[in-house]
Amino acid sequence: MEVCITPLPEVNSASEVAGGQLEPFPKRINAVPPRITLGSLPVFSVHSYEEDNKLWRKHVDAYKKTNNLLDTGRYRNIMDMNAGLGSFAAALETPKLWVMNVVPTIANTSALGVIYERGLIGMYHDWCEGFSTYPRTYDLIHSNSIFSLYQNKCKFEDILLKI
C-alpha cells in the first residue's frame, strides 16, 4: 500500500503549505499544479503540462463537433481509462458532467497527485483486473492509448469485457 501513497513535501514552517499553494476552484483546473511547478514529477515540465492541456482542448473541441450532445447534460458521468494529467477532464470543463480519471497502474508515471491538485477525482487501476464498480454505468468511456499501453500485458478481450 505504501507504493500508492505519495508523501507530502517537507515544510520549513507551520505557515508554509505542504506541496504548494493551490488556486481556488475552478481556476485551479487549468492552473499549473504545484507538483509540476516544483518538479516533483521529473517527466513533466510546465511547458509539457501546458502543451497537454492545449492538445486535449483541441481533441475535446473535435469531439464536440462529432457529438453535439457532449455539452448538453446527456452525458453525466464519463470514465477516462488512461487519464494522464487529467487534461481531458479539464478540457470538458462543464458542471453538467464529471469524469472519473483512471490512472493505469502500469503507466510510466503516476500523475494522480496532479489530477487531485487540479480539483479532479481519480483513482489507480490495473485494466487486466476487474473494475470495482460496473463500468457500463458510465455514459461515455474514453480510452485513449489504453490498448497500446496494455499490449502484451493481458488480452484485449479481458479489458473489453470489463468495460
Residue whose C-alpha cell is 470489463: 162
pLDDT at 50: 97
Which helix (H) or strand (E) element contains residue 116?
helix 112-117
CA dihedral 147, 149, 152, 157 (to 10 degrees): -30
The answer to whether 109 touches 44, Cβ cutoff 8 Å, is: yes
Alpha-carbon separation of residue 41 from 5, 22, 114, 144 (angstroms): 14, 17, 9, 21
pLDDT at 14: 60
pLDDT at 59: 96
Domain ranges of the chain: 24-162
DSSP character for 131?
A: -
Q: Which residues of the chain are under the pLDDT cut of 70?
A: 1-11, 13-20, 134-135, 161-163
pLDDT at 137: 82
pLDDT at 86: 96
Alpha-carbon separation of residue 86 from 95, 119, 160 (angstroms): 16, 10, 22
DSSP character for 80?
A: E
pLDDT at 19: 62
Give the distance, in angstroms, between the CA of residue 82 and the centroid of all CA atoms in the same chain: 7
pLDDT at 131: 79
- Candidates 97, 76, 90, 81; CA nearest to 141 is 81
Query: What grid cell was written down for 148?
Result: 497500446
Residues in contact with 7: Cβ distance below 8 Å, sequence separation at least 6, in sequence order: none
CATH architecture of the domain with range 24-162? 3-Layer(aba) Sandwich (3.40)
Task: Characterize the bridge pairing of strands 98-104 and 77-80.
Answer: parallel
Which helix (H) or strand (E) element contains residue 37?
helix 34-37
